[in-house]
Structure 1
Amino acid sequence: MAEAELLKIRLEILRRLSMKERQQKNVKSMLMNYLQLDEQLQQSRRSRSISVNGEASSGSTNDQLAIMKEEMANVYRMKSKNDQDLIDANRKLADSESRFHLVQSQRDKLKKEVGVMTEKMRLLEEEVAELKDTNCAINNERVALVATCSFLTEKKKQLENERFQLMNKIRDLQEKSAELMNAEIVLQEERAQLRIREQIARATADLNLGDEKAVPTCASPDDDEFMMTDVLPSEVKFKMTAHEGEVRDVEWMSDDMFATAGSDAKVRVWRVSQNKIDASKVSTLTGCLGPINRLDYDSQRQVILASSNDKTCRLWNVESQRLLSTFSGHTDKVASARLFQSHNVVSGSADRTIKQWDIGSMRCLRSYLVGSTVFDIVTKCGSSQCSFISSHFDKKVRFWDARTAESMHSVELGQKVSSLDTSLDGLQVLASSQDDTLSLIDVRTYGIIHLYSAEQYKTSCDSTRAIFSSTGEFVLAGSSNSSVYIWNTKTTKLEKVVKTAREDSNQIMSLAWNPSGRGLLACDRQKTCTLWR
């Protein structure tokens, strides 16, 4: 390509030089004519001088002079014409030279461009060669990948077949597990009824022997008999380290047993000693893969339910310490889960959904799309067995009927609602919100009955829990300054403030009032659990 361009440039230069030579040919002929005329003029002068000196008699001098003048005039006319032609030729020559120089400069510029283009063409040829090599390598890799893909596709088909077989086995095992669990639940119900009959028999025997025994006039404040009213805590009985991380929730299981849930992904069951000065660990329930947020306990079936940050909730049998069910299907952490109706579980998650599960088959029966992060859920509210209540990030408390996909009603509070608790009769719900207030809501009318607040009370965090006392006489909540605030339910008066630690940086996470009416448990972020009586 470069040689062809050089050949074209050379031919163009030769063409322009031949053109210039043709243009200068006329100038050369004119100069030759001019020289010939000059030579003729000199010869005529010499001949006239000779003829005047040697041949004075040959003709008339005047005639010869006239002829000579005429010839001289012709010569001068030709000379002036030749001079003008010479000037025009010089002008054309100058123009030709300027054009020649311009063509030379263009030629030099084109030579430089040709050099640059040649270098660029060389680089492009090298790049094309590299791309060909790369393309060849990629093609070889593609062939290898196609072979690998075919192998993996065949392997995937085999794994799918194995998975299908395993799913069938899992389904069979789940059915067997459901049958075993149903049998165990029936057995537990029979045991509970047997215990009730024994208690009734003992109570009947005590009544029959009532005349023979003296009736005590007053009860000791440290006795464990059932209290008809709630007694405000007055002193710390013990303070213990319950978990390896912060203690997220605490739940009384009986008068002397309670369970704690921690960020170490464990549920621990404790028994309070007879003198109430310490507690011993009974068992540890494992299986969760993330921090546990909420606990729920069923005393009749002896099962405990935990919601976890690993996007699941799990159900254990407390006596056998066996994991009965795992409910997985949420796409974010499960903030709260509650036992619902006889064989169901309802759970709320940060994925903005609420799900209802069947305990036996571990299937999701229904999903409720809320549109806001769920912080807490409570059941056993109102007269209907199909109702539950949820609290949310969008400041709303929603009331649900499990048979419908939409909430029946919602109550909006001042800030996001972190926790819920229902009264003993299920007709009132206590909601704790991030505006540092507690709201008492009537379940039947959806109206706010009372608001509870205090000057130093600050809501701890999104998972803090406010509760009713055992008979509903008081409402209480933990604060971010290591204190528990207790209000009178009806008068909204702040009855008492108890402090769990000397430092003010310890946040109270959850509270539980003993079902006997005497005893308050509080757990915090410093791995500890404290009992007041």
Structure 2
Amino acid sequence: MADVVDEWRKLRLEILSRLNKRERQQKNIKSMLNNYYKLDEQLQQSHRSRSISVGNEQSNGTANDRLALMKEEMANVYRMKSKNDQDLIDANRKLSDSEARYSLVLSQKEKLRKEVDALLEKNRILEEELADLKEKNNAINTERVALVATCTFLTEKKTQLDSERFQLLNKIRELQEKSAELMNAEIVLQEERAQLRIREQIARATADLNLGDERASATFGNSPDADEFMMTDVLPSEVKFKMAAHEGEVHDIEWMSDDMFATAGSDAKVRVWRVSPNKTEASKVSTLTGCMGPVNRLDYDAQRHVVLASSNDKTCRLWNVDSQRLLSTFSGHTDKVSSARLFQSHNVISGSTDRTIKQWDISSIRCIRSYLVGSTVFDIVARCGVSQSSFISSHFDKKVRFWDSRSSDPTYSIELGQKVSSLDVSIDGLQILASSRDDTLSLIDVRNYGIIHLYSAEQYKTSCDNTRAIFSSTGEYVLAGSSNSSVYIWNTKTTKLEKVVKTAREDSNQIMSLSWNPSGRGLLACDRQKTCTLWR
């Protein structure tokens, strides 16, 4: 814009300069014309004077001499007139050229004036837009300041709430320790009473024993499998074997019986294995195929005749273990199925990352009800509580939801510290174990929805969103695999860390799932390195 104004000023000065020059040129022409008119007048006067003088001097000179002199003077006058006429023509031509240039300059000036007006209008519009943008910027900046203040306040409030939470956790742990002490005293007292009753029963029964009963008892006591059926869980102490179970990651593992177990892998297969009598190796019994994607979770019926698997191919499938035949395929989810469980003996309940839970009828292989959750489902458990129609789900939004299959909304929900990766039900169905990504396990009472215990350890780190924590076979212990190739085992009642068992390798390896043998002895673990490990 400044360049245009400068150019216009230069053009204006040029026009004024040319006008002044033209005026000076015209001034010379006017002076020349005035001189011409004066000369003509002088010539005429001279001619008149000479005519008079000739008349007077006729007597003094001849007519020829006067005529020659007069011709010479007239010739000089004509030459001067001719020169003046030429100068006048040149001056007129220059004047015409100057007028043409002046007209051109005026037209250019008018054109530039219009451009200047357009630029001034455009500049005015831009200044209005700039003022509007400044006003909006001030409003946004004011809002930003308010949001920063709100964020600072909420951050301080969160810090305060975290501090209060830690204080409450410490108080809970202190109360748990006191409760554990009281419970231990009660357990010791009950054990003393039980031992007293057993001694009395033994004393009464000893008198009635005969030799045949003694031999039978001795034979049973010497049986190599006598330690397989125990009333308590035995902590594992050594690795009996390790094997490559799948061609990829092993996502889940489940004991089917005392000597058979099933595994699920990222190679889209479910495999059934049998452990050798000396517990040093396992042989493959069968491979169940049909899934088109990685298998995430396994479940089985009470008689161990059918296996249910959830898969990333948006389906869950049911097989007969004995015939290895695929019985049913339940498809209807729009994303991978993270968990599926047998429910009410004739139904299947499944949860998916599409944020829905679906209930399926096994006989008709159709969806009979859908539950809209609003958050990714990580795990589902059934056979919990006193009602056969209830089930529980864990979610990405840190919540554990309790459901009644007859209602489309959850009956209750509990929010934990982080997203909840897995659930497991105690043997009596009255407690559930929830594993969350804040590296803690929570023991929840199904009857009053209260958190009974929290389990954590210094080196324990939850492996991933699909990791699984479980109860031992009698519920005496709770255990979970860590991201450092270790399994952490806590006492269920006292929350004491009883033992940490590690794999043979030293490098970091994420343990995905665990399963405790129903006999009380034998712990299976699977990991992301394609292997399964048996501890005893």
So what's the TM-score if we normalise by structure 2? 0.65
Match of 2:249 in 1: 246
Q: Does 1:296 align with 2:295?
A: no
In structure 2, what is the Cα distance between the partners aligned to 1:319 and 1:295? 16
**Following superposition of structure 1 onto structure 2, how do residues 323-334 of structure 1 map, counting pairs within 5 Å?**
323-334=326-337
Identity of aligned residues (%): 76
- Gaps in structure 2 of 5+ consecutive residues: 1-29, 61-83, 110-211
Q: Are the aligned partners of 1:480 and 1:504 in contact in 2 as well (CA < 8 Å)?
A: no
Match of 1:434 in 2: 437
In structure 1, what is the Cα distance between the partners aligned to 2:421 and 2:504? 23
Q: Are the aligned partners of 2:228 and 2:520 in contact in 1 as well (CA < 8 Å)?
A: no
Match of 2:413 in 1: 410
**CA RMSD, Structure 1 to Structure 2 (Å):** 3.4
Q: Are the aligned partners of 2:242 and 2:533 in contact in 1 as well (CA < 8 Å)?
A: yes
Q: Deviations over 1:335-391 (max 9, x none)?
A: 111111122211112222212222233322222222222111111110111111111
Match of 1:202 in 2: none
Q: Per-residue deviation at 1:50? A: 1.6
Q: Does 1:372 align with 2:383?
A: no
**Following superposition of structure 1 onto structure 2, how do residues 298-313 of structure 1 map, counting pairs within 5 Å?**
298-300=301-303, 302-313=305-316
SS of residue paired to 2:217: coil
In structure 1, what is the Cα distance between the partners aligned to 2:409 and 2:302? 31
Q: Per-residue deviation at 1:524? A: 1.0
Match of 2:49 in 1: 45
In structure 2, what is the Cα distance between the partners aligned to 1:220 and 1:445? 45
Judged with a 3 Å threshold, the aligned counterparts in structure 2 of structure 1 residues 465 and 489 are, in CA distance, closer, same or farther, namely: same
Q: Does 1:452 align with 2:455?
A: yes
Q: Per-residue deviation at 1:520? A: 1.1
Q: Does 1:338 align with 2:351?
A: no
**Following superposition of structure 1 onto structure 2, how do residues 172-251 of structure 1 map, counting pairs within 5 Å?**
214-216=216-218, 218=221, 222-223=225-226, 225-251=228-254
SS of residue paired to 2:216: coil
Q: Per-residue deviation at 1:411? A: 1.1
Judged with a 3 Å threshold, the aligned counterparts in structure 2 of structure 1 residues 363 and 91 are, in CA distance, closer, same or farther, namely: farther
Matching residue within 514, 517, 525 for 1:514: 517
Amino acid at match of 2:462: T
SS of residue paired to 1:215: helix
In structure 2, what is the Cα distance between the partners aligned to 1:41 and 1:315? 143
In structure 2, what is the Cα distance between the partners aligned to 1:274 and 1:351? 44
Q: Deviations over 1:238-263 (max 9, x none)?
A: 21111111111001111111100111
Q: Does 1:396 align with 2:399?
A: yes
Q: Per-residue deviation at 1:95? A: 4.8
Matching residue within 522, 527, 532 for 1:524: 527
Matching residue within 488, 493, 507 for 1:485: 488
Q: Deviations over 1:164-184 (max 9, x none)?
A: xxxxxxxxxxxxxxxxxxxxx
Amino acid at match of 2:441: L
In structure 2, what is the Cα distance between the partners aligned to 1:525 and 1:104? 88
**Following superposition of structure 1 onto structure 2, how do residues 75-224 of structure 1 map, counting pairs within 5 Å?**
95-102=95-102, 214-216=216-218, 218=221, 222-223=225-226
Match of 2:505 in 1: 502
- Gaps in structure 1 of 5+ consecutive residues: 1-26, 57-82, 110-209
SS of residue paired to 1:52: helix
Q: Per-residue deviation at 1:226? A: 3.2
Q: Per-residue deviation at 1:47? A: 1.2
In structure 2, what is the Cα distance between the partners aligned to 1:221 and 1:432? 37
Amino acid at match of 2:262: A
**Following superposition of structure 1 onto structure 2, how do residues 274-285 of structure 1 map, counting pairs within 5 Å?**
274-285=277-288
SS of residue paired to 1:446: coil
Amino acid at match of 1:410: S
Q: Per-residue deviation at 1:234? A: 2.3
Q: Are the aligned partners of 1:253 and 1:299 in contact in 2 as well (CA < 8 Å)?
A: no
In structure 1, what is the Cα distance between the partners aligned to 2:232 and 2:525? 20
Judged with a 3 Å threshold, the aligned counterparts in structure 2 of structure 1 residues 94 and 229 are, in CA distance, closer, same or farther, namely: same
In structure 1, what is the Cα distance between the partners aligned to 2:326 and 2:106? 93
In structure 2, what is the Cα distance between the partners aligned to 1:219 and 1:407? 53
Match of 2:319 in 1: 316
SS of residue paired to 2:98: helix
In structure 2, what is the Cα distance between the partners aligned to 1:221 and 1:524? 31
Match of 2:190 in 1: none
SS of residue paired to 1:214: helix
**Following superposition of structure 1 onto structure 2, how do residues 469-480 of structure 1 map, counting pairs within 5 Å?**
469-480=472-483
Q: Deviations over 1:14-44 (max 9, x none)?
A: xxxxxxxxxxxxx999999888766644432
In structure 1, what is the Cα distance between the partners aligned to 2:241 and 2:302? 25
Q: Deviations over 1:257-299 (max 9, x none)?
A: 1100111111100011122211110111111122111111114
In structure 1, what is the Cα distance between the partners aligned to 2:98 and 2:444? 105
Judged with a 3 Å threshold, the aligned counterparts in structure 2 of structure 1 residues 371 and 55 are, in CA distance, closer, same or farther, namely: farther
